[in-house]
């Protein structure tokens, strides 16, 4: 089934292909809160029908009831669809990840995951494809074009890693983002990132938030992760 309804959002349009009703609804609500326009499909056939409309990215479950998501991705590419595709799967082995990339996928997320990490990865994929939107929270604005943080007092430049980490945190303000999610959002697949490195980046982001005049701050849940509020 394909659901073409949306809330008349003006952000990038994302097609979510997921057969599990509860997971699909959680993804759609979370992405709409992050200012994406969302279309949903429940299987491969409806995903291909949805491809008749323009969209900017695809979130595609591999385990669909009527087909393998990798075959759907291959079919989309054969139709000339160039939008980035992020695969969702319950499997974490290297062979599955490589087969997803071979089918034309751009990224790979293993369930369960935090919606903030998906938002951050979508921003990265959209930025690479030339389509992205700013992330806003209160008096803060995170600009993906200039990689900068705009606050009430100043505009602060960010490194690419700082940008990805802050985008992950701002994608779910008030929610605890675990260290593993920050590591996946901030660094390439397979990178070895120590807790000390993450702590140093968080320290730098805290200073830049203060210098920008932000009312938000990053707090630590010892041994777990961080949240911005």
15 band by pLDDT with thresholds 50, 70 and 90: very high
Alpha carbon of 104 to those of 23, 170, 223: distances in Å? 24, 29, 37
Is the confidence at residue 85, as pLDDT, over 90? yes
Whether the pLDDT of residue 86 is over 80: the answer is yes
- How far are the Cα atoms of 81, 150, 217 from residue 153, in angstroms, in the given order? 42, 8, 15
More confident residue, 226 or 143: 226
Considering only CA atoms, give the Rg of the chain.
18
Q: 16 falls in which pLDDT band (50, 70, 90)?
A: very high
Contact assessment for residue 69 and residue 62, using Cβ atoms and an 8 Å cutoff = yes
Quick one: average pLDDT of 95-112?
80
Residue carrying the six token digits 């992205």: 132
List, for residues 177-205, the tens digit of each pLDDT value.
888 888 878 887 677 888 899 999 999 99
Average pLDDT over residues 89-104: 74
Q: Domain ranges in the chain? A: 2-128, 134-228
Which CATH architecture fits 2-128?
Answer: 3-Layer(aba) Sandwich (3.40)
Taking the complete model, does pTM exceed 0.85, yes or no? no
pLDDT at 219 over 90: yes
Fold observed for domain 134-228 = Arc Repressor Mutant, subunit A (1.10.10)
| Calpha distance 181→120 (Å, rounded) | 10
- The tens digit of pLDDT for each residue in 21-73 reads 999 999 999 899 888 899 999 999 999 998 888 888 999 999 999 999 999 99
Q: What's the pLDDT at 60?
A: 95
Tokens of 162: 């700082």
pLDDT > 70 fraction of the chain, expressed in percent and rounded: 90
pLDDT tens column, 125-173: 887 776 656 778 888 888 877 788 999 999 999 888 888 888 888 877 8
Partners of 150 in the beta sheet?
A: 141, 155
Query: Which residues, including other chains, have CB under 8 Å from residue 21's CB and lie 6 or more apart?
Result: none
Closest CA to 108 of 88, 123, 128, 138: 88
3-state secondary structure of 22: helix
8 band by pLDDT with thresholds 50, 70 and 90: very low
- The two domains 2-128 and 134-228 share their CATH topology (first three levels equal): no
The answer for 157, left when phi > 0, alpha when psi is -120 to 50, beta otherwise, is beta
Residue 192: predicted pLDDT: 83
Q: Where are the alpha helices (DSSP H) in 113-216?
A: 115-129, 160-170, 179-186, 195-211
The residue among 173, 151, 166, 161 whose CA lies nearest residue 205 is 166
- pLDDT, one tens digit per residue, over 49-58 is 988 888 889 9
Q: How far is CA 62 from CA 86, 88, 161, 174, in A?
A: 10, 6, 28, 31
Instruction: Flag whether pLDDT at 2 surpasses 70.
Output: no
| Percent of the chain topping pLDDT 90 | 37
């Amino acid at each position: 089934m394909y659901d073409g309804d949306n809330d008349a959002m003006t952000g990038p349009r994302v097609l979510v292909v997921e057969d599990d009703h509860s997971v699909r609804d959680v993804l759609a609500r979370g992405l709409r809160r992050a200012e994406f326009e969302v279309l949903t499909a429940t299987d491969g056939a409806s995903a291909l029908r949805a491809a008749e409309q323009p969209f900017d990215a695809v979130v595609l479950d591999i385990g669909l009831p009527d087909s393998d998501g990798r075959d759907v991705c291959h079919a989309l590419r054969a139709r000339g669809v160039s939008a980035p595709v992020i695969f969702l799967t319950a499997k974490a082995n290297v062979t599955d990840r490589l087969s997803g990339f071979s089918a034309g996928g751009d990224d790979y997320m293993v369930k369960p995951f935090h919606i903030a990490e998906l938002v951050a990865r979508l921003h990265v994929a959209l930025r690479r494809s030339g389509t992205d939107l700013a992330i806003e929270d209160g008096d803060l604005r995170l600009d993906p074009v200039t990689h900068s943080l705009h606050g009430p007092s100043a505009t602060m430049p960010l490194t690419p890693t700082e940008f990805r980490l802050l985008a992950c945190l701002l994608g779910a303000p008030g929610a605890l983002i675990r260290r593993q999610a920050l590591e996946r959002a901030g660094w390439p697949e397979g990178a070895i990132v120590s807790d000390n490195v993450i702590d140093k980046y968080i320290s730098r982001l805290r200073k830049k938030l203060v210098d920008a005049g932000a009312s938000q701050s990053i707090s630590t849940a010892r041994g777990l992760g961080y949240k911005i509020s």
